[in-house]
Structures are given as structure tokens and as C-alpha cells.
């Protein structure tokens, strides 16, 4: 028994307890908290942030890590936990407690301002708070240090090792390969999807979403689903992983894709080993890998013909007036219709990546200081016109649609596209290992796929980097070709190309 390592584990779990408590307050803030609780809640979250930060960067943790980093008696997994924690410690040591609390309080207030601004479609209510957040994120880049571009410092928080130079190449591939394919699709006859926008009872939608989560093997004894203005997944530990969705009674798509998407995130978190709670081995590798799990379930599975061969009869039973006379083929084509739209979370699989690219380019420019907060509505609308050929009708449908900036989540958006590209590569490999996967999905049997994901991705925590894991699972680094192969095979069939 290594006394020093046991002490390290104890300290890490104590810090996780504090972070978990803070996460509960954040979850409540977005789900149940009354409006008047916002000011004190921001203070409470800031206080806990400061406590967790001080404990983590304190001398006791630092001394233990220095000692254990030289301890050859540790096994390979223990050594990896120490090296990953030392990396986190070195980075967090660069933050002062004052800065951590200031950022926490600022983002808590910004969230409340964003919520009001979105409800009234008034960017001016959010802009002063966003300016403060942006300024703090610029300061954070300087605290952390970076090479070549300040935005690299923020990218690294979510996708370790990601660089502007690499993402520029990736999004240039999106422009040069995906955009021409979308234009080719746009020349085909438009698919009729009007039946998706009839009135769908909220409670019936909710019940169907719960059934979909259960079918995916989301464990409701270790989680729950609630309503929020922006769907999200939050984990307090693998035995308490919660998801939220939103229900639009006039757009069937919003609830179902939110449920499946967040369910994919939750399955990853529930698949981490509870015995590794508080340690890097009990944490997700990166946001890109995390997003690969949600996008794999949402798109590669949830938007597949096999999935709806299984689930469409139930949907027709629940909504006979809506789907009773709509064939499975027409339903499948409608839910996969490619058409530019305003809202990222309800965008189709292909145009989705231009939503992400626009946000990436805006964030990069904001952080480097070539644009300012006041410029955002204009630049946003210009880019939507340029890449998606649509005129944004309101701030609510445009610059205010995402919650991420109010949380200070700069550097987060690129992981959405990375996740889709990883998902296509992982799903292709899963089909190789499970030759009858499509038939399994047709029969509502998702356990083999989940087990494959558990064995190849979920169980490892942060033992591998995203690049190392991708290479281990698929035999190569992330390759955009897999996504294009998947997209062309699927949508060429749907659009008779």
C-alpha cells in the first residue's frame, strides 16, 4: 500500500466532491432555480470555485505530485494519473484564486443576462456581460501562455493539443469538399418535411424521448432527464449523470435529437469506472471524443434507416394523425433533409459544420482582438449569408442562440465538428467489428454497440490522448475522408445522386 498515492487519491476525491457540489448548483441554475436566486447563486458558485482551486493548487497537492512523479513503485495506470494531474496542476497554478472567482461570478451573471437577452431577442442586454467575459478569456490566454496564436490556449482546455493551424486546414477541407457536395444536393428536388412541423403534444414527445433513452441503455437509476432552454449533459459521478432536453410542440425534431445527442454524452459518462472517481482515469479524454459519442448516437445511429425501421411504428402509434399516412421512406428522407437553417442544434448533418465553422472563426478573431463584441451581430449575420445563404431574422435566432459564451466556453465549438468526424471514423470501425450491427439496430438491440464503445473508448478515461485513442481504435489519426465517405454514401442514396 502506497501511503502517498492513497493520500493523493483522497485529496483528488475531496476536490471532486467540491466540484460536484458546484455542478449541482449549476444544474439547478439552468433547470429549476427561481429568477431571484441568480445573484446569490453566482456568489455561491464563485465561492466553491475558489475553494476547489485553492485546494488543488495548494502546497500539499504540489508536494505529493512532485514526490509521486519520481516514485517507480507505481503501476502504469497510477503513473498516468499522476502525470495527468501534474499537467492539470501546472496549468491551474497559473490562475490566481481571485481570477478563478472573478471568472466564475462573471459567467454566472452572464448566463442570467444571456437568458433574458435570448428571451427578448435583445443583444444589448447581453453585450456588456459578454465584453467582460471576453476580456477575462483574453487575460486567461496570457496566463496560460501559448504558441503562435492566443486562441490555442483556449482550444487546449477542451481538446488538448488542438491548434489553430490544424483546425484551419480541417475547416478548409470542409469548405473544399463538403460545400460542393451540399451544392450538388441543393440542385435536387426539395424533400417534403412539412409534417414534422405540425403540432406535437409536449407530453407525448417527452414520453417517446424517455423510451429512446431507455432503448439506448441510458441508466435512469444513475440519471434523469429535465427541461432546459439549451440541452446539456452534466455528470456528478458515473452513478449520477443527468441530461436535459427542450420540447418544441411545433417542431418534432428538436426534442428527439436533443434526447439522443445528450444520451450519447451521458452513456460515455456512465461508462467511466466509478472506482476512478476524482482521478484522470475517471474523466473523459477530450471534448472532441465526448462529442464523438453524442454525434455517433444522434447521427450514425439515430438518423439511420435501421433505427427508424425499429422505432417508426411506435411513433406512428403515438401520433397517428401526423405519421399514419407518412411512409417510413418519406419520414427517413424528411429527417435527413439537407437545407440551410438558423439554429445549430437543429441543423442537418452536413450544413451543421458551417454553423460550427462560423463560430470558430468569430471566436478566433475575438480572442486575437481583430473584432470586438459590438461587431458580433453584424459579422454573424454576414457569415450566415455568405456560407448558408440565409438572412438571420433576429438575435434570438442568431447571435444569442447558444449558451456557451455566457459560460466562458471559448474554444469549445470546434469540438462539435471534431466529434462528428471522429464519430464517422469510430462507427466505420464498429461496423467492421460488428458485421451485423445494422440488423442489431433494426431490432432495437444497442447493447453490442454500447459494449464496443465501453471497451474501446469509455473505459480508458484519460489514459490516452484523443489522437492516441483514435489511432489505437481505428489504426490512423483523425481523417476527414471517413466523414465524407459516410456522408456521400448516405446522402447520395437519399437524394438519388
Q: How many whole angstroms separate alpha carbon 78 and alpha carbon 206?
A: 43
Q: How many whole angstroms separate alpha carbon 213 and alpha carbon 111?
A: 28
Q: Considering 140, 262, 291, 363, which one is annotated as catalytic?
A: 262
Q: How many whole angstroms separate alpha carbon 130 and alpha carbon 107?
A: 9
The candidate with the shortest Cα–Cα distance to 402, out of 367, 437, 358, 445, is 358
249 is catalytic: no
Beta bridge mates, 234: 242
The candidate with the shortest Cα–Cα distance to 51, out of 10, 14, 94, is 14
Place of cell 471522429: 422
Contact present, 423 and 457 (Cβ < 8 Å) = no
Biggest CA-to-CA distance, the chain: 69
Could you write out the three-class secondary structure of the chain? CCHHHHHHHHHHHHHHHHHHHHHHHHHHHHHCCCHHHHHHHHHHHHHHHHHHHHHHCCHHHHHHHHHHCCCCCCCHHHHHHHHHHHHHHHHHCCCCHHHHHHHHHHHHHHHHHHHHHHHHCCHHHHHHHHHHHHHHHHHHHHHHCCCCCCHHHHHHHHCCCCCHHHHHHHHHHHHHHHHHHHHHHHCCCCCCCHHHHCCCCHHHHHHHHHHHHHHCCCCHHHCCEEECCCCCEEEEECCEEEEEECCCCCCHHHHHHHHHHHHHHHHHHHHCCHHHCCCHHHCCCCHHHHHHHHHHHHHHHCCCHHHHHHHHHHHHHHCHHHHCCCCHHHHHHHHCCCCCCCCHHHCCCCCHHHHHHHHHHHHHHHHHCCCCHHHHHHHHHHHHHHHHCCCCCCCCCCCCCCCHHHHCCCCCCHHHHHHHHHHHHHHHHHHHHCCCHHHHHHCCCCHHHHHHHHHHCHHHCCCCCHHHHHHHHHCCCCCHHHHHHHHHHHHHHHCCC
Active-site annotation, residues = 262
Amino acid at each position: 500500500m502506497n501511503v502517498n498515492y492513497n493520500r493523493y487519491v483522497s485529496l483528488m476525491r475531496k476536490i471532486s466532491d467540491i466540484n460536484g457540489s458546484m455542478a449541482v448548483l449549476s444544474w439547478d441554475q439552468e433547470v429549476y432555480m427561481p429568477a431571484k436566486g441568480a445573484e446569490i447563486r453566482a456568489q455561491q458558485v464563485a465561492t466553491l470555485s475558489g475553494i476547489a482551486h485553492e485546494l488543488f493548487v495548494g502546497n500539499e497537492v504540489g508536494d505529493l505530485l512532485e514526490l509521486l512523479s519520481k516514485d517507480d513503485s507505481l503501476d502504469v495506470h497510477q503513473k498516468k494519473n499522476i502525470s495527468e494531474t501534474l499537467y492539470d496542476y501546472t496549468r491551474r497554478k497559473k490562475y490566481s484564486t481571485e481570477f478563478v472567482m472573478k471568472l466564475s461570478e462573471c459567467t454566472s451573471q452572464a448566463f442570467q443576462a444571456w437568458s433574458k437577452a435570448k428571451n427578448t431577442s435583445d443583444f444589448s442586454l447581453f453585450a456588456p456581460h459578454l465584453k467582460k467575459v471576453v476580456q477575462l478569456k483574453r487575460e486567461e490566454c496570457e496566463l496560460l501562455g501559448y504558441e503562435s496564436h492566443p486562441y490555442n490556449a483556449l482550444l487546449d482546455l477542451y481538446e488538448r493539443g488542438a491548434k489553430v493551424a490544424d483546425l484551419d486546414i480541417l475547416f478548409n477541407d470542409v469548405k473544399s469538399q463538403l460545400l460542393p457536395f451540399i451544392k450538388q444536393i441543393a440542385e435536387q428536388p426539395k424533400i417534403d418535411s412539412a409534417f414534422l412541423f405540425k403540432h406535437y403534444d409536449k407530453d407525448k414527445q417527452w414520453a417517446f424521448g424517455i423510451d429512446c433513452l431507455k432503448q439506448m441503455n441510458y441508466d435512469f437509476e444513475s440519471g434523469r432527464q429535465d427541461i432546459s432552454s439549451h440541452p446539456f449533459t452534466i455528470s456528478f459521478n458515473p452513478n449520477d449523470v443527468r441530461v436535459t432536453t427542450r420540447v418544441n410542440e411545433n417542431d418534432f425534431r428538436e426534442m428527439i435529437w436533443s434526447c439522443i445527442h445528450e444520451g450519447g454524452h451521458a452513456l460515455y459518462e456512465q461508462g467511466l469506472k466509478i472506482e476512478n472517481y476524482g482521478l484522470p482515469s475517471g474523466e473523459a479524454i477530450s471534448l472532441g471524443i465526448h462529442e464523438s459519442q453524442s454525434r455517433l448516437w444522434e447521427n450514425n445511429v439515430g438518423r439511420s434507416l435501421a433505427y427508424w425501421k425499429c422505432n417508426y411504428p411506435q411513433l406512428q402509434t403515438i401520433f397517428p394523425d401526423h405519421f399514419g399516412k407518412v411512409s417510413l421512406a418519406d419520414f427517413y428522407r424528411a429527417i435527413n433533409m439537407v437545407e440551410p437553417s438558423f439554429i445549430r442544434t437543429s441543423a442537418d448533418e452536413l450544413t451543421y459544420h458551417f454553423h460550427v465553422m462560423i463560430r470558430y472563426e468569430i471566436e478566433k478573431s475575438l480572442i486575437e482582438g481583430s473584432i470586438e463584441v459590438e461587431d458580433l451581430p453584424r459579422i454573424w449575420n454576414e457569415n450566415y449569408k455568405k456560407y448558408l445563404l440565409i438572412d438571420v431574422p433576429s438575435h434570438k435566432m442568431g447571435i444569442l442562440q447558444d449558451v456557451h459564451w455566457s459560460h466562458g466556453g471559448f474554444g469549445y465549438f470546434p469540438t462539435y465538428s471534431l466529434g462528428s468526424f471522429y464519430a464517422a471514423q469510430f462507427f466505420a470501425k464498429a461496423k467492421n467489428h460488428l458485421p451485423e450491427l445494422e440488423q442489431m439496430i433494426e431490432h432495437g438491440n444497442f447493447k453490442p454497440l454500447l459494449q464496443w464503445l465501453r471497451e474501446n473508448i469509455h473505459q480508458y478515461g484519460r489514459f490516452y490522448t484523443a489522437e492516441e485513442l483514435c489511432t489505437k481504435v481505428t489504426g490512423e489519426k483523425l481523417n476527414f475522408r471517413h466523414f465524407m465517405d459516410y456522408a456521400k454514401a448516405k446522402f447520395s442514396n437519399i437524394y438519388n445522386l
